[in-house]
Structure 1
Amino acid sequence: MIEVNGLTKRYGDVLAVNDLTFTVRPGHVTGFLGPNGAGKSTTLRMVLGLNRPTAGTATVDGRPFTHRQAGLHHVGALLDAGDVHPGHSAAAHLSALARGNGLPRRRVREVLEEVGLAGVARRRVGGFSLGMRQRLGIATALLGDPSVLLFDEPVNGLDPEGVRWVRGLFRRLAAEGRTVLVSSHLMSEMENTADRLVVIGRGELIADETVAEFAARGTRADVAVRTPDPAALAAVLTRAGASVRADGGESLMVTGLTAARIGELAFEHRILLRELAPRTASLEEAFMELTADRADYLAGDRR
């Protein structure tokens, strides 16, 4: 379990993380989300003892990570897939870590097989693609068979097969009772992988809840409508205050009216409906809406 309590980090006048408190429990894949500059990487580095907090604490299974010896037995982490000497082979890199943490040599072979790199174990990392380096970083995190795992943008550079593999890996690790925290900017991956979300913006907590609960907080609710007379229905709904988007066929996407009210208006104007389906906000839509005022970098922002 990861427990963050009142965590704060200042860099001069910049408040990167501000009084952040959340808990990541075992048995779930927890997504760690936030706009660029939200403080996600800084928080992960403080959990691992790589950055010292200005205030507050971050503990792993009740103790600061820096208080543990042979840390790979307890926590596995992928923060930067490029943080490997390019002249080393994958096997040499993992073997050095295994020796330093008192791990048996067989673990090197096992994790290379697990991530699909056994066939290139003797190749220098400098010749690896980004996806291969990501797989090596995941192998490094798995090396000590730890109960707590942290991954920062783990699917960058992976092909579709690799993305599907890593998604299944995270689910399996959580099902085994491990604590799995995954930082990502890809909402589709979080929607398909995570059970819970911790969402931050400008270093402050926005949400700590299930994916479904977070998505439901989005206020935008569309209704998909299909009718043989879309122009007439669009005119009626627009006069009633709705926003209507047409696809050029029979389908309309309506915002601003409930499905019940749309049905009533169609009935009153004798317009046949073939489909009337409420649609809640997607995770991405909820994220964009709920973090809009917490983003430091916005397209078109000329501050």
Structure 2
Amino acid sequence: MIEVRGLTKRYGDVLAVDDLTFAVRPGEVTGFLGPNGSGKSTTLRMVLGLDAPTAGTATVGGRPYAAQPAPLTVVGALLDPGAVLPSRSAFHHLLALAAGNGLPRRRVDEVLADVGMEKAARRKAGTFSLGMRQRLGIAAALLGDPPAVVFDEPLNGLDPEGIVWIRQLMRSMAAEGRAVLMSSHLMSEMELTADHLIVIGRGKLIADMSMKAFIDMNSEREVLVRSPQAETLRGLLATAVDVRTEKDGALVVTGLEAAEIGALAAAGGVELHELSPRQASLEQAFMDLTRDAVEYQAETKPGTPTETMTETGASR
């Protein structure tokens, strides 16, 4: 298990991580979310012993990363897929890591096969595409067969087959009882992959709950309604929080349940062709919750397609 307790990190006057506490439990894929500048990368670096905390602790299996005698057998991590000598082959990169952690040579061949890189094993890493570097980084994370893994943006550069593969890999590792921590900005994939969510903003914990609870709590339910008497129905729905019309004429209603809309339509003699509750998305729930925690926000000027970046705070 990965445990973070009161973790704090200052860079001069910038408070990058502010008294953060959470746990990544075995048997779950835990999604780690936050806007740019929220402190995610700094937190991961402290978990992996790359940065020293100003206060608090980060442990894996009850011990700090630096205190692990063979760290790759305790936690595997992918933070930077480019962290490999470009002149070194995939095989020899992994062989060096194995030697440093007391792992047998056969593990190198095994993880290369696991990530589909047998044919590229002797190629120099400098010739790899971003997707191939990602696969090599994932192979390195799996090398010690660790009970905990940390993936920072593991989907970058992967093609559709690779995205499905890494999603299934993380789900299978959790099913084996491993603790899996995944950070990504791809909300659709996070929604398909994660069981639990840790959300931070400006270095502070915002949410620590299951995926379902997070979506239910932080997004409004919508109901899609189709009717040949849409305008009449709109008038009957004046009590709804929001009614908007889609391009095809359908109404999207927020603030009323489907049964309530159906009852109003029946009472008003309005014919309905469709009445479908819409499942809220992780993306919308995340954006609604973190709206006030965004460090850098694009503002679209009225009447133009261009965007300007407005700095709203320091970022690390």
Scaled by the length of structure 1, the TM-score of the pair is: 0.96
Partner amino acid for 1:54? Answer: T
**Map of 1:86-165 to 2, 5 A cutoff?**
86-165=86-165
Kindly provide the CA deviation profile for residues 49-74 of structure 1, in whole angstroms up to 9, marking residues without a partner as x. Answer: 11000000011111111111121111
Name the residue aligned to 1:10. 10
Contact (CA 8 Å) 1:228, 1:250: kept in 2 or not?
Answer: no
Q: How many residues align?
A: 302
Q: Distance in 2 between the 1:184 and 1:293 partners? A: 20
Return 5+ residue gaps in structure 1 as ranges: none
Structure 1 window deviating more from structure 2 (265-274 vs 106-115): it is 265-274
Contact (CA 8 Å) 2:219, 2:284: kept in 1 or not?
Answer: no
Kindly provide the CA deviation profile for residues 112-156 of structure 1, in whole angstroms up to 9, marking residues without a partner as x. Answer: 010011101011111100000000000000001111100000000
Partner amino acid for 2:268? Answer: H
What RMSD, in angstroms, separates the aligned Cα atoms of the two structures? 1.5
Kindly indicate whether residue 64 of structure 2 is the aligned counterpart of residue 56 of structure 1: no
**Map of 1:6-85 to 2, 5 A cutoff?**
6-85=6-85
Name the residue aligned to 1:245. 244
Give the SS at the match of 1:82. coil
The alpha carbon displacement at 1:286 in A equals 0.6
From the superposition, tell whether residues 7 and 273 of structure 1 become closer, same or farther in structure 2 (CA, over 3 Å): same
From the superposition, tell whether residues 55 and 24 of structure 1 become closer, same or farther in structure 2 (CA, over 3 Å): same
Partner amino acid for 1:263? Answer: G
Q: Distance in 2 between the 1:137 and 1:177 partners? A: 22
Name the residue aligned to 1:291. 290
The alpha carbon displacement at 1:281 in A equals 2.3
The alpha carbon displacement at 1:250 in A equals 5.6
Partner amino acid for 1:274? Answer: H
Give the SS at the match of 1:220. coil
Kindly provide the CA deviation profile for residues 11-41 of structure 1, in whole angstroms up to 9, marking residues without a partner as x. Answer: 0000000000001110111111111111111
Name the residue aligned to 1:168. 168
Q: Distance in 2 between the 1:10 and 1:85 partners? A: 31
Partner amino acid for 2:119? Answer: G
Partner amino acid for 1:84? Answer: V
Q: Distance in 2 between the 1:248 and 1:198 partners? A: 36
Identity of aligned residues (%): 63
